[in-house]
Structure 1
């Protein structure tokens, strides 16, 4: 059964929460982070994207970047922008986006559960992204990025969380610049804390990584690297757990750098063997399973899978698998999307205009829009021990970094 523990969060002074809270480190590149932090020296991006405070000549994976993150974190504490909770607590985190609300429980989950598959995975990770977080956690001593976990909805847990929300005032409540509202309550009553832990231990047999495979894997590898000197904090990692009936998955789209030596005309001809290909007058948002959009040479196309391009098993039926097997691998020679530099991934929150922009810029040759994976598909794949192709799911809204941080050396 799932082990969820309270913890002593490092968190902002209430009046500074909106300034400090930042978008997750992995949804912004360095240049975007610099723009985001202009005029705001209190942004948590100075810790999660600390290369913004170093010369551009410094590689973003250089040890100087991680040392700067540690320096900036210590400075935030010294300036009393952040403080450590006096006792172990749970936290309730509600997000509202476009009128749709979802509420999760923040605690720390067991690294042992991760390694023993009580925390289930549905994706492999990319080695260079893992190593980046390993270096960041080891050097800073902090898990600054939240792992987004899902569990099958449970009426008792839902009722307990809603009761606490109704009875207590939030410690943080603000609307960020992207119009997403973030509200956090502290659960510091010992009876309530014990009741939450017991409910999960008795009623939730497993949890599922929805977003944050790299952060979870890195936490486990950091503990292993520390070895016998590891403090208790390293045995757990920062997680927010959401019931499955509140989650929203968006599309996660693909870009390929080149056409593997094919001309655009030849590529289209090859596609017609596996797909019905029809030019479109505007960007294509797939309307259902086995339908794709493609942007090539200034034109959008609608692709519809022909029989034989997919199977009925949990992995083979996914559109990310259909695209990977029949196009990216077979036609473009991108056999390992985890490591191949000729592929990139664009979350649906950026819109299809981002795909057009990047292809029109000349760095990428073709883009594909996909129909989103469902939460039931995710659970089915994880339960059977299978994995999706990387970057198959994009969850929105995103949790903000900096509101709740877990320290591993204490």
Structure 2
């Protein structure tokens, strides 16, 4: 039984919402970030990077305190304001190719601890600790955990009906996305949604494993304070058929001492290999892999697809790791080895070609995207994906909805 509760959100003023909200901080190039911070005084990036003006090199604790102060400044200047009553939201992101719809609400730490909210990715403890300290110092979060729920016809019908009502915000971005937010303040509507999610049962984290783990850690640290907001964390709940799952492709700096011919010979023991020459080829199905090496594309197809004991063993990212990256290329630590990097599958395959042609990397591997059924099976069996297995959309706008702790 998954709980979802309304909360007293902090929102941008209606006239400034398109100026306030931003993409996630780490999605900006240095030039884009500088342009936003230099020419848009209302950007939430000023809250996230308050030391920008002085180009200060400061410790984390001081940085977090500056974030908290800049956040208070935005509220004092009425760029941001508190909602008077607890509410939920319906949020739509409309891109060129897809429309995403979901419910924004607070979800329960207890559900997270009791595995009603299920996980499929491992977390790095130092990152969890750092973000916990960030939450403790700043007392707010603006990046919800993306959670998927099984498709439900009644919920989908309600969403479509709600979209026919007046919205709170409607704005477009430079990425040619249209964002619309509806406030859900009616007590009967909120109660109905809560009942629906209680009946749905288990839900699954799609993106935000570190954020949810940090929220739990903060709860354990400060739960005696009496602050009930610690019992929950903000989430964006979306039907599982409505998420878009991309692969993370791998690029490697060298062949670990192998010649091109020797490397391909090693691969041929496990894969059927076809030289696609200059064709920009990507995998068409599971157990297929694309490869770019020495100016040419190759298709690799696993010969033996029957010798898998678990759903993790049959995951394409795990297959590539166990059969190629570790034994042949000598890469054991997918998170920290400097010889490997990752390119999300929402970028063109030409990006991989260009990066390798520049010479810093020698070989690239393209994967077929993971299915939502695989993610759920991993979570149901308490199994963990390899790092950088999925890049999942939609991505939430920072500063659009703020959850205060």
Q: TM-score, normalised by structure 1?
A: 0.90
More off after superposition, 236-245 vs 312-321 = 312-321
| 1:22 maps onto 2:22 in alignment | yes
Distance in 2 separating the partners of 1:258 and 1:127: 30
**Aligned pair 1:178/2:180, yes or no?**
no
Partner residue, 2:162: 164
**What are the ranges of 5 or more consecutive residues in structure 2 without an aligned counterpart?**
none
1:76 paired with 2:106, answer no
Could you say which residue in structure 2 is the equivalent of 1:336? Answer: 333
Structure 1 gaps of 5+ residues are none
C-alpha contact (below 8 Å) 1:294/1:300 kept by paired residues: yes
Question: How far does the alpha carbon of each residue in 1:223-245 deviate from its partner, in whole angstroms, 9 at most, with x for none?
Answer: 22334226111111110100122
Q: Does 1:253 align with 2:249?
A: yes
Match of 2:228 in 1: 232
1:268-307 superposed matches below 5 A: 268-280=264-276, 281-307=278-304
Q: How many residues align?
A: 404
Distance in structure 2 (CA, Å) of the matches to 1:129 and 1:361: 32
Partner in structure 1 of residue 215 of structure 2: 219
Is the 8 Å Cα contact of residues 2 and 201 (structure 2) preserved in structure 1? yes
Residues 13-48 of structure 1: per-residue CA shift (max 9 Å, x gap): 112111111112343465653355452222222333
Asked if 1 retains the 8 angstrom alpha-carbon contact of 2:287 and 2:305, the reply is: no
Deviations 1:303-333 (A, max 9, x none): 2222169626322222111111111222223
Separation of aligned partners in 1, 2:291 and 2:27: 23
1:346 aligns with 2:350: no
Counterparts of 1:331 and 1:318, CA distance in 2: 19
Cα distance change, pair 46–310 in 1 and its aligned pair in 2 (3 A): farther
Q: Give the Cα separation in 2 of the matches to 1:50 and 1:294.
A: 42
1:204 to 173, 192, 200: 200
SS for the counterpart of 2:377 is helix
2:117 pairs with 116, 119, 141, which one? 119
* TM superposition shift of 1:162: 2.5
The residue matched to 2:206 in structure 1 has which SS?
strand
Deviation at 1:121, TM superposition (A): 0.7
Q: Which moved more, 1:174-183 or 1:122-131?
A: 122-131
Choose 324-333 or 343-352, whichever is displaced more.
Answer: 343-352
Q: Would you say the 8 A contact 1:108–1:236 is kept in 2?
A: yes
Q: Distance in 2 between matches of 1:51 and 1:277?
A: 52
The question of 1:378 aligning with 2:368 is answered no
Separation in 1, partners of 2:271, 2:101: 40
TM-score scaled by length of structure 2: 0.91
Point out the more displaced range, 392-401 or 88-97.
392-401
Alpha carbons of structure 1 residues 396 and 328: separation in structure 2 relative to 1, 3 Å:
same
What is the DSSP-based 3-state SS (H/G/I as helix, E as strand, rest coil) of the residue aligned with 1:104? strand
Judge which range, 264-273 or 392-401, deviates more.
264-273
State the alpha-carbon separation in 1 of the partners of residues 228 and 250 from structure 2.
40
Q: Is the 8 A contact 1:33 1:49 kept in 2?
A: no
Shift of 1:183: 0.7
Per-residue CA distance 1:229-268 (angstroms, 9 max, x = gap): 2611111111010012222212222233443343444333
Shift of 1:131: 3.6
Question: Aligned partners of 1:50, 1:369: CA distance in 2, in Å?
Answer: 38
Rounded to whole Å, the distance in 2 between the matches of 1:277 and 1:325 is: 18
CA distance in 1 between counterparts of 2:35 and 2:352 reads: 21
Distance across 1 between alignment mates of 2:273 and 2:37: 44
Q: Secondary structure at the match of 1:388?
A: coil
Superposed CA RMSD in Å reads 2.4
Q: Deviations over 1:155-200 (max 9, x none)?
A: 222223332222x211111121111211110001112112211221
Aligned mates of 1:253, 1:54 — CA distance in 2: 37
